[in-house]
Amino acid sequence: MESETKEIQQDDITIDGAVLKAIQQIEDATRTLELEFQDEQLSPEVKIAMSHSLTNSMKHLRYMNGVIQKSVGEKMKSDGNKMAVVALPTGVQVSVEQVNKSTRKDVDREALVMAVNKIANENKHRVNTDTGELVDIHESRNRLYNKCFRMEPRWTELKAIGIDDDEFCVKSWDTTVKITQGGSL
């Protein structure tokens, strides 16, 4: 993918043209469904059938979109491009930016909680911001738990209090892209 604007045509008699035509048909179908769904006369059974079909389709589309973005991101990385502008057949230009996203797995949750417990003992984390007084360790821990954890660890918050995520999980990086719509041609 070149870094300057690249145009792609939907009427190409190639695999690219066929794929673009199919994607346009999917987009048209979703617009039609959106209009039909607003029709109050649709029965609950039809709405349920639509929802079921859309749920399955979205799962496949999300998977395909992830594979496509990863493929484009890896191609841009191998070509040394961080950003490109692409003119779509609809006349819309999009900027495509290579981004890296991290994935953490095999998190040692117990060790991570222990690290937060240790840090909660430090005076700088025990200060009540309203009164300036030191709170007990349990309150400090609870405050840090709420700040640093949801159902999963809050990695940015943990890093902010001095915890290195690499000590508690195996982290991998995937190259993908972020697509932002620009103006029309």
By residue range, what is the domain housing residue 83? Answer: 6-103+173-184
Residues 34 and 19 in one domain: yes
Task: Please state, rounded to an integer, the average pLDDT across all residues of the chain.
Answer: 85
96-131 pLDDT tens trace: 999 988 999 999 999 999 999 999 999 999 998 889
Of 176, 178, 177, 171, whose CA–CA distance to 102 is shortest?
171
Residue 134 has pLDDT above 80, yes or no: yes
28-76 pLDDT tens trace: 888 888 887 776 788 888 878 888 888 888 999 999 999 999 999 999 9
Backbone angles phi, psi at 49, to 5 degrees: -60, -40
Q: Which residue has the higher pLDDT, 65 or 9?
A: 65
pTM for the whole structure: 0.58
DSSP type of residue 133: P
| pLDDT of the residue at 141 | 92
Q: Note whether 112 and 168 are within 8 A (CB).
A: yes
> What string of DSSP letters covers 33-89?
HHHHHT-TTS-HHHHHHHHHHHHHHHHHHHHHHHHHHHHHHHHHHHHT-SEEEEE-T
Residues 88 and 111 in one domain: no
Residues 88 and 129 in one domain: no
Residues 29 and 97 in one domain: yes
Q: Note whether 181 and 88 are within 8 A (CB).
A: no
